[in-house]
Amino acid sequence: MKAFLVEKYGDRTGMRAADIPAPRMGPDDVLVKVHAASVNPLDIRIRNGDFKAFMPYRLPLVLGNDLAGEVVEVGTAVTRFAVGDEVYARPDKDRIGTFAELVAVHQDDVAAKPGSLTMTEAASLPLVALTAWQALVERAGVRPGQKVLVHAGAGGLGSVAVQLAKALGAHVAATASTGKVELVRQFGADEVIDYRTQDFETVLDGYDVVLDSLGGKNLAKSLRILEPGGTAVSVAGPPDPAFARELGAGPVLRLAMAALSLRTRRDAERRGVTYSFLFMRADGDRLSRLTPLIDAGKIRPVVDRVFPFEETLDAMDYVEQGRARAGKVVVSVV
């Protein structure tokens, strides 16, 4: 089968297209013929080697973290899916590889594709939808009437998070650049802060939840707009001890992560708020919980551009260079 491999960490020169054997299947796996896969900033960070200290992938590695496709084979213990089922998924972090014609995924990480979506649309959702769900529902426990700030509201994660927060009954603010303000309002944001002309810290106050995808100074300012008891969930901030425990990290790595996040955690504690780092988990059941919202039109996929499979490296460049106007970039495999 054809696939795109990372042979050495770094820029696109470390990746190439290759013909490789079809993946081996375990008894709980489904083999999926990939129709479409989306490109995430996570793919670029993995390619660059940003996570090699605590996620040591063995190279060469097939890249790709999102898929939509058709089940073509099932393992002997599979009970949830059958050949011919249309599915979508974010494979487990240890079993990525959706920039390929075939991928084997554990049945627990797969969900039936919402009937209202095309394969291209479905491929844009799993990673960002699961991240939004785990951040807003599981970590922050967003309730009706709460105030939620979503950073980068036009992005892949932000566009879904704004819609989910609104569906949960929250008052939603989002940040965006000047040309994307009206678009983010269309996603359901009650307030949109143009970060080119406004400082969100001077405009917003008394928020219950912040979803941060930028880290750094943006995260530090986000803590300052929270109400006491509020929660900041970041996918870009420093890893915290809870994440180290989730990874099953050794003592040295646990200490390193604790040190990285110490300043942020202390700042949060002084303000009476909570800081939480999130590295989303694959989960087919949670992905299925989003289907009613998707089919009801409360969460709509936002696809910026579709590239043919042979242009996967160009699609990654497009994302890395920040050229997408809104939402996700998708690679069409079939």
Whole-number percent of the chain with pLDDT over 90 = 90
Which helix (H) or strand (E) segment is 43 a member of?
helix 41-48
- Average of pLDDT values for 234-251? 84
Q: Which tokens belong to 207?
A: 């928020």
Is residue 167 a contact partner of residue 293, using CB atoms and an 8 Å limit?
yes
pLDDT tens track for 96-127: 999 999 999 999 999 999 999 999 999 999 99
In sequence order, the β-bridge partners of residue 89 are 67, 110
Which among 243, 195, 233, 181 has a CA at the least distance from the CA of 212? 233
Phi-psi category of residue 10: left, alpha or beta, with phi > 0 → left and psi -120 to 50 → alpha: left
In sequence order, the β-bridge partners of residue 4 are 17
pLDDT tens track for 75-101: 999 999 999 999 999 999 999 999 999
**Unique residue bearing structure tokens 């079939």:** 334
User: Hey, is 298 helix, strand or coil?
Assistant: coil
Mean pLDDT of the chain: 95
Is residue 62 a contact partner of residue 5, using CB atoms and an 8 Å limit?
yes
Query: Which domains are delineated in the chain?
Result: 2-125+301-332 (3.90.180.10), 127-277 (3.40.50.720)
Which helix (H) or strand (E) segment is 267 a member of?
helix 251-270
CA–CA distance from 280 to each of 173, 218, 323 (Å)?
Answer: 23, 20, 25
* pLDDT given for residue 241 in this prediction: 83
Burial of 275 (0-12, 13-18, 19+ CB in 10 A): buried
pLDDT tens track for 34-79: 999 999 999 999 999 988 877 779 999 999 999 999 999 999 999 9
* pLDDT given for residue 52 in this prediction: 84
* pLDDT given for residue 76 in this prediction: 98
How far apart CA 67 and CA 252 sit, in angstroms, is 35
The confidence band for 259, taking pLDDT boundaries of 50, 70 and 90, is confident
Least confident range from 135-139, 201-205, 257-261, 286-290: namely 257-261
How far apart CA 174 and CA 192 sit, in angstroms, is 5
In sequence order, the β-bridge partners of residue 307 are 331
Is residue 215 a contact partner of residue 278, using CB atoms and an 8 Å limit?
no
pLDDT tens track for 291-303: 999 999 999 999 9
The confidence band for 173, taking pLDDT boundaries of 50, 70 and 90, is very high
Chain centre to alpha carbon of residue 64: 12
- Average of pLDDT values for 213-232? 97
Who's near 24: CB < 8 A, 6+ residues apart? 104
* pLDDT given for residue 112 in this prediction: 98
The DSSP symbol for 138 reads: I
Q: Which tokens belong to 205?
A: 């106050």
Between strands 29-39 and 328-332, the pairing is antiparallel
Q: Which tokens belong to 256?
A: 């390193």
Burial of 159 (0-12, 13-18, 19+ CB in 10 A): buried
